[in-house]
Chain A
């Protein structure tokens, strides 16, 4: 016997049936019935963000650190438009989130009603899919379908727009088992013939490399496990994109570091010089490839991706495999084992010899001299002092983000949350809140730049209200550092608007919210200050004053190839030509 209830109650029931325990949101006129339903129950915890963008990023942080979909509830009009950046961010990084928006009642749609916006129209290009639900009878089923779409295939953000009259009306509830999930069911098994072709290539390769990405993490813990087995058994070097950090442990024997624009010298050189590139869940993004014509010219390439549109989009590959990483790796391992676990070990050993040569460049080396903290040093100390903790790292966007990727080591998937595809300043702080909600006892640190952090600083209220002991580790260079770096390299050191003027006193700012503020500018007291941050039971704003004009190296300048990396200041003179400077 189907249960009758209001649309608002259906939303809550459907969320519960989907296993949701936490919703990040912000109320308003068009979602009041749903907030009423929230008021009358205990199963779902609502976290009141201080801005809808914060709510969406928090849901992203929750999703990325748990592998479960994040859920967000906002009102119509400005609530929905404020969610757009977070939706786009989640789309670019393939993060499963479900955003529920209120809408003006159906009979007022199209009348320019108060707080009306064409939410499905605005969010069509920044969601994987979205729905406007016009009948209460279809509401529960649509919410179930939304979860299905968000989490199946290549994950992504979805949005369900719910007019207020649909929330008020009563109808029969559809449980998940009876919901119409549509026909959406992407392929997860890879083509065995191509997998076998890849196995043959693995057996013969002289200079192989695993190039891994966020797809491994999205595929789930089994994928990381299988990857570790494959890397361990073949002994091939492995690199990863910014998105894939943690899928293989940084302490692992075959790890050669992150690749890409600010990736490690040895990783980029190995990508350039390899003869077999095995792309697992990465997408040949422009931050990775550098100039396409000169990208890894002598390699055969395999690409494992659940999204067929990622294959042959930027780089043409010889061995395309559409499927879920875990499924494909399982088959790959089986075929490789059945054929006798062969590799060309003599050649691979020589290849490692070459990689070890490249490693001798020590591209991340820096010297902490004098009384000013180098940002690299701050992160190296943070790494040393927090490594042993159950630790989750989020970041904002800029130089600090790249340094965090370079100097922090990740041993497991789902421990590193950063805005990769969209590069959203203001992502890290709310994301850290979402992570801490999901992992109350873990050490959650947002590595931030002072400029990015200010973009969603209002969320300090959220952190305080829910007693979330998130640590905001701000590398304060009083500069839009990454912008400044590009202006130095590309625009004749004309530092147009890249100062952080009129910065707040971060310690006082923390205190104004009732949080703890720590200021550190002295390398000698840095360790103690970091320890104070870690041991404090509550949110901390750590204002770490660092070298203002430090540049982030290595760097592949725009329009250049992997083997044309800049390793330090001495390399930077006149390197980027006019053609490169039009690129972002």
Chain B
């Protein structure tokens, strides 16, 4: 059941192309949704996904324009091309939604996630954790004699990989922000 990840920019249909793509392949798409920063707007977006049975793999939200009162919601979701098109169209119906961009199909984009890892251990394991953190360019943001907190930024896959490595070395807590994404170029 694991969704097939399509390489970014690999599909040819555009966000506003209503012509159907008949594929039944599950794709992962990153959507950037610009909304009015008002009470309840996140509930509207999440309620849409819950109410219509769409997936949310990752979700981030924060104000991006204080004077314009705008927030940006980044959602990573999966579905067949038809479902993805439905998701975008349904999002477009929400009154405070200004714009829905499908970063997965609209040219190339960069995606980053920040994560904090608490790794507990002593001796060799502790040394190995620090060594791997260095390779991954993770920062040590807190340390005791028995633990580290690492901060790592990067694509989700990199966070996944680092978490896999830290697990046997004493990973005790993990906090991830979810994906923030922007299209590349102008």
- Please count how many residues in chain B sit with their CB below 8 Å of the partner chain's CB atoms: 22
In the complex, which residues of chain A have a beta carbon less than 8 angstroms from the beta carbon of B90? 309
Minimal Cβ-Cβ distance residue in A for B17:
A320
A312 close to B47 (CB less than 8 A): no
B71 to chain A, nearest CB (A): 14
A312 close to B82 (CB less than 8 A): yes
Comparing B92-100, B103-111, B143-151, B178-186, the segment that makes contact with chain A is B92-100
A312 close to B85 (CB less than 8 A): yes
In the complex, which residues of chain B have a beta carbon less than 8 angstroms from the beta carbon of A312? 18, 20, 82, 85-86
> Once bound together, how far apart are the Cα atoms of A485 and B140, in whole Å?
70
Residue A337 interfacial (CB < 8 Å): no
**CB < 8 Å neighbour of B47 from A125, A183, A313:** A125
B93 close to A316 (CB less than 8 A): no
A309 close to B47 (CB less than 8 A): no
**CB < 8 Å neighbour of A309 from B36, B86, B95, B96:** B86
In the complex, which residues of chain B have a beta carbon less than 8 angstroms from the beta carbon of A183? 98
A328 to chain B, nearest CB (A): 14
In the complex, which residues of chain B have a beta carbon less than 8 angstroms from the beta carbon of A149? 95
Tell me which of A128, A309, A313, A320 has the highest count of chain B C-beta atoms within 10 A of its own C-beta.
A309
B89 close to A124 (CB less than 8 A): no
Q: Which of B49-97 contact A (CB under 8 A)?
A: 51, 82, 85-86, 89-90, 92-96
In the complex, which residues of chain B have a beta carbon less than 8 angstroms from the beta carbon of A125? 47, 51
In the complex, which residues of chain B have a beta carbon less than 8 angstroms from the beta carbon of A120? 40
A271 to chain B, nearest CB (A): 20
Residue B176 interfacial (CB < 8 Å): no
> Once bound together, how far apart are the Cα atoms of A120 and B22, in whole Å?
38
Residue A556 interfacial (CB < 8 Å): no
> Once bound together, how far apart are the Cα atoms of A169 and B59, in whole Å?
39
**CB < 8 Å neighbour of A124 from B18, B36, B40, B93:** B40
Minimal Cβ-Cβ distance residue in A for B19:
A320
B73 to chain A, nearest CB (A): 16
In the complex, which residues of chain B have a beta carbon less than 8 angstroms from the beta carbon of A313? 86, 89
B43 close to A121 (CB less than 8 A): yes
Residue B125 interfacial (CB < 8 Å): no
Residue B112 interfacial (CB < 8 Å): no
**CB < 8 Å neighbour of B93 from A307, A318, A320:** A307
Bitwise, A136-156 to B at CB < 8 A (1) or not (0) is 000000000000010000100
A86 to chain B, nearest CB (A): 19
> Once bound together, how far apart are the Cα atoms of A464 and B20, in whole Å?
54
B89 close to A316 (CB less than 8 A): no
Residue A397 interfacial (CB < 8 Å): no
In the complex, which residues of chain A have a beta carbon less than 8 angstroms from the beta carbon of B47? 124-125
Minimal Cβ-Cβ distance residue in B for A158:
B95
> Once bound together, how far apart are the Cα atoms of A554 and B43, in whole Å?
43
A100 to chain B, nearest CB (A): 17
Tell me which of A312, A313, A317, A322 has the highest count of chain B C-beta atoms within 10 A of its own C-beta.
A312
> Once bound together, how far apart are the Cα atoms of A154 and B90, in whole Å?
13
Residue B44 interfacial (CB < 8 Å): yes
> Once bound together, how far apart are the Cα atoms of A462 and B44, in whole Å?
36
Residue B39 interfacial (CB < 8 Å): yes
Q: Which of A516-539 contact B (CB under 8 A)?
A: none
> Once bound together, how far apart are the Cα atoms of A405 and B184, in whole Å?
55
Q: Which of A272-327 contact B (CB under 8 A)?
A: 307-309, 311-313, 316-318, 320, 322
A28 to chain B, nearest CB (A): 24
Q: Which of A150-191 contact B (CB under 8 A)?
A: 154, 182-184
Minimal Cβ-Cβ distance residue in B for A149:
B95
> Once bound together, how far apart are the Cα atoms of A128 and B36, in whole Å?
16
In the complex, which residues of chain B have a beta carbon less than 8 angstroms from the beta carbon of A373? none
Given contacts A120-B40, A308-B18, A313-B86, 14 further A-B contacts (CB under 8 A): A121-B43, A124-B47, A154-B93, A184-B95, A308-B89, A308-B92, A309-B86, A312-B18, A312-B85, A312-B86, A316-B22, A316-B82, A318-B19, A320-B18
Q: Which 5 A-B pairs have the closest CB atoms?
A: A309-B89, A320-B18, A129-B95, A316-B20, A308-B89
Residues of B that sit less than 8 Å from A by CB: 18-20, 22, 36, 39-40, 43-44, 47, 51, 82, 85-86, 89-90, 92-96, 98
Q: Please, could you name 21 A-B residue pairs with CB atoms under 8 Å apart, sorted by A? A: A124-B43, A124-B44, A124-B47, A125-B47, A129-B96, A132-B39, A132-B40, A184-B95, A308-B92, A309-B86, A309-B90, A309-B93, A311-B18, A312-B20, A312-B86, A313-B89, A316-B20, A316-B82, A318-B19, A320-B19, A322-B18
